[in-house]
Structure 1
Amino acid sequence: MTVPEHLAAGCPYPGRADAAPLYGPAVSDDPHGLYARLRAAHGPVAPIELEPGVEGWLVIGYQELLELTRNEQQFSKDSRYWRVPREGRLRPDSPLVPMTMWRPTLQSMDGAEHRRLSAAVGETLGRIDHRLLRETTEAAALALVESWGPDGTADLVAQFTRRLPLLVFTMLLDLPEEDGPQLLAMITGMVDSGAESQRAAAAFAGLLGRLVAERRARPGDDLVSWLLAHPAGLSDDEAVHNLVVLLVAGNESTINWIGNTVRLLLTDRRFRTSLTGGRATVADALDEVLWRDPPVQNFPGRWATSDTVLGGQYISAGDLLVLGLAGANDDPAAHGPEGLSGNRAHLAWGAGRHVCPAKDPARLIVETAVETLLHCLPDLQLAVPPHELTWRQSPWSRALVSLPVLYSSFTPPRPAAYDPAGQTQPAPLAPLTPFERTAWTPPPPRGSAPTGSTPPEPTSSPRTSGSALADLRRRLSSLAGWWSGR
């Protein structure tokens, strides 16, 4: 490769005094200002430090990020190319280790192995009935709101956004009821990154290992059984590691997306007025957040397999390149003449072959959660001035530390049907939950369509009573109550 003369005359990244730290308050308090300064000083690819003494590159150009994610021969997902740990410069206890270590997952693979694991995970997620997922999410949201105290105050981060995805995941895994609180405690311990995080991670892997072994022996109608039954033939170890990626990464992204969307609705008068006036929807707010404050603002990464040039910067073999998802969304080249409205060309989910496989169920969970919250608490408002809200100091997540709110009225999410026996039953035509152990019927092959007036085959049996939904709501209320100390 011929290196341009102006680059060859300079030095490669290590030791550059103009590298910006991608940690601390700069990246949490004013990330958009940071990305603008980096773009002005360095262009679409900027030198950074991920922690003191550990260098990298932040790709904040829209087209450059697309090039990075589409060229896996030059920019691999395999972190074993990274020269920093090979040179002994990564501490064993570095917080970068969990985010960059190689595992047998779709996140760490290229080529045929990535396609195999991606197909298994993507098609497993595709078996989730979206109508049933919406019902489950609504029940979880209602259970959480009902578990709050009577004083009309709540912290939406601690009491809603951090809990709702985990409640839904316990249902998707069809865990025994007594294992639900354990799962919630383990994932919370891992995400909090406290002194017990390593122990929580080991316990979580152990729980998933036991669950995989059980479903291998006795398959059911749940996410784990579907993954194990996929023709890709995942080993137990592959299944456990990919489930960890799905549950931990999916949990964190969903938490942040819910919180950032509610914050937008409560702090942006223009948007809140449009929403209540019927000129905008929660879906519009979700897209606004994905452009401006995506739940994952930066993501590692890609590793250069050989020396190259990207965005005018000389990249050495083994360098780490971080996907600046929020920064690339800020790139003026990404915005059309009409701005961001109605435009889903953002890079919040990544790009190329490694685009997030869970974006559709994640969107449904977040949209349902926000809609249910706003319906149940129509006068919801911030309990503090907007400028007092603080962000977690994370280079990866765009997440609020807390979101204190006030409310005075509660509206049930849907009318209940009257039962003469005195029991409240769900409204007619409520969908079957996916956790009733009914047989799953695959959809018809691609390209086939029902003829005449014959309706398409359903992917689950029709509901004949409200008992399953009532049981689901009871289980979710029990978990929410456990978490609230009741």
Structure 2
Amino acid sequence: MTSPPPQWTAPQGGRQARCPATPLYGPHLGGDDMPELYEELRRTHGPVAPVTMAPGVEAWLVLGHRELLRLTRDEQDFSHDPRRWTLLREGRIPPDSPIMPMVGWRPALLFLDGQQHRRMRSAVSDALTRINGHELRRTVQATCDRLIDGFVERREADLVPHYARKLPMQVITQLLGLDERTALQLVQAIAGLVAANADSANASQRMAKILLTLIEEKRRRPGPDVTSALLNHPARLTDEEVLHNMTVMFVAGNQTTTNWIATTLRILLTDPQFRSSLAGGHLTVDDALDLVLWRFPPTQNFPARYATRDLEFGGQQIRAGDMLILGLAAANADPEVLPHGTPVIGNRSHLAFSAGPHTCPAQDPARLITRTAVDTIRHRLPDMELAVAESDLAWVKSPWSKGLAALPVRFSVPDTTHRPAPGTSGGGAGQQESAQPVWGGGPQGPAPAHAHHRGEPR
């Protein structure tokens, strides 16, 4: 880091002041600087560090791997319900705070505990399970090729807006049952929401309006899509519950997958040894995806848990109602469970998808989309190279997400007379889609390449 981030002692409303808190927002958030910041916090405070997520918004960042596992599993001491949050209950968080669209209570699985959470998760999980993995792969493949065809003749592209951002948006909105124009409006609203700035509240309202219109349409005319599945699930979710669970699914799925694609491509473009190993068959695309999830998880920090009682945790005195942030990237780098130099290829005990009852239910479709995206473009554009110095890459500044703002590349125009689809034994990549629907096509779903329990060191 060129200079340390500013620090200040958070006000405690008459309570004894705590340790200086480090802001996780502002201009010092600089892409590759974040790992250094996490290690500085670990050295200074241990596995749990005081931070601020926005002006006046104090929290604890959980940096330790073991501590984060306890945080995600112990619903007795750590609730998901932000209505327990002391700062909110005492009226010290303004309604227009940029953090509120991300942490404000919603009737969705992300903000509930126990039986209420299990009821909503059953509906979401069942809807995702009914996605036909084979047909989803075909749809993603065709979408990748359409996007690449759109810029290939120019011999240059910015892979964030032209590829990594468009692909998951087009696939996820198709799964939800949205048309392309409305889908683009939704993606723009989501981008404003996660930016955690002055427009976040307006972006949240725009997003809700789009999704409510979709829900009303699917109530009248159900279709083979995730929205209709949620509306007709035996859990009997209300329209409001469907709205907010779709919000959680789209925010988490779209932005995370965009970052996962872009970061994996960045590694392939900037690490010649890794790219050579992949081209030579010594490593697989899934190995590259796992490396990203360990070292550069698409979601850096995730909201939030709230202490249900006063307790000591990670060497800190936590008070009832305190907010605790899941430091996913920092926990993955915890030297107690992953000493420096430890290989991570093929190891999926990372915490990029969280852990416990709230482990991401959509990680397998997300992996399928990302794997297909990376595999397709590296086969279509084998001589692709970064068009700027790696140090000049721009990053999105957000307390939650580590994502590239741009990934400019250049390449020669490839021979397109024969384009076998990556991972298949025949068929052109631009082939017609199967008549089978992507959603509801039977028992075959997107299975993980390595099936062992996630969230546990091994």
Tell me, yes or no, whether TM beats 0.5: yes
Provide the residue aligned with 1:69 in structure 2: 72
Instruction: State the SS of the aligned residue for 2:30.
Output: helix
1:36 is aligned to 39
Q: Which amino acid aligns with 1:185?
A: Q
**Other-structure match for 2:285:** 282
Q: 1:241 to 1:305 in 2, by over 3 A?
A: same
Matching residue of 2:327 = 324
Alignment of 1:361-440 (within 5 A): 361-412=365-416, 414-415=419-420, 431-434=434-437, 440=440
Deviations along 1:123-159, one digit per CA (max 9) or x if unpaired, are: 1101001111111111111111111263311111111
1:84 and 2:87 matched:
yes
Q: What's the TM-score once normalised by structure 2's chain length?
A: 0.86
Tell me the distance in 2 between the aligned counterparts of 1:35 and 1:121.
33
Instruction: Indicate the residue corresponding to 2:454 in structure 1.
Output: none
Residue pair 2:132, 2:442 contacting (<8 A) in 1 also: no
**Equivalent residue runs for 1:265-344 within 5 Å:** 265-335=268-338, 338-344=342-348
Cα distance, 1:426–1:292 mapped onto 2, change above 3 Å: closer
SS in 2 for 1:332: coil
Gaps of 5+ in 1: 1-10, 417-423, 444-457, 460-486
Cα distance in 1 for partners of 2:71, 2:14 equals: 19
Give the one of 138, 141, 144 matched to 2:144.
141
Q: 1:185 is matched with which residue?
A: 185
* TM-aligned CA deviation for residue 334 of structure 1: 2.1
Report the Cα distance in structure 2 between the residues aligned to 1:12 and 1:306, rounded to whole angstroms.
Answer: 19
Identity, % of aligned positions: 49
RMSD: 2.5
Q: CA deviation at 1:338?
A: 4.7
Shift of 1:292: 0.6
CA offset at residue 426 of structure 1? 6.5
User: What is the match of residue 54 of structure 1?
Assistant: 57
Query: Aligned AA for 1:320?
Result: M
**Hey, what's the Cα distance between the residues in 2 that align with 1:180 and 1:45?**
43
Three-state SS of the structure 2 residue aligned to 1:334 is coil
Aligned to 1:107, the other structure's residue is in SS state: helix
Cα distance in 2 for partners of 1:219, 1:263 equals 40
| Runs of at least 5 residues in structure 2 that lack an aligned partner in the other structure | 1-12, 422-427, 446-458
Measure how far apart 1:274 and its partner are.
0.8
Distance 1:198 1:42, change over 3 A: closer
Q: Contact (CA 8 Å) 1:152, 1:407: kept in 2 or not?
A: yes
Q: How has the CA–CA distance of structure 1 residues 13 and 397 changed in structure 2, closer, same or farther, with 3 Å as cutoff?
A: farther
Instruction: Give the C-alpha shift of residue 211 in structure 1.
Output: 2.2
* Residues 213-238 of structure 1: per-residue CA shift (max 9 Å, x gap): 23223322111111222211111111
Number of the residue aligned with 2:157? 154
Amino acid of the structure 2 residue aligned with 1:57: W
Partner Cα distance (1:149, 1:134) in 2: 22
- Following superposition, the deviation at residue 348 of structure 1 comes to 0.3
Please give the alpha-carbon distance, in whole angstroms, between the structure 2 residues aligned to 1:150 and 1:13: 63
- Which residue in the other structure is 1:451 paired with? none
Separation of aligned partners in 2, 1:163 and 1:441: 24
> Could you give the per-residue CA deviations for residues 89-136 of structure 1, whole angstroms, max 9, x where no partner exists?
212221110111000000000000000001110111010011111111
Larger Rg: 1
Structure 1's 434 and 88: CA in aligned 2 closer, same or farther, altered over 3 A?
Answer: same
- Which residue does the alignment assign to 2:172? 169
Instruction: Compute the TM-score of the two structures, normalised by the length of structure 1.
Output: 0.81
Deviation at 1:199, TM superposition (A): 4.8
Q: Secondary structure at the match of 2:119?
A: helix
1:221 and 2:194 correspond = no
- Is contact 1:14-1:55 (8 Å) kept? no
CA contact (8 A) 1:189 1:196 kept: no
Amino acid at match of 2:190: M
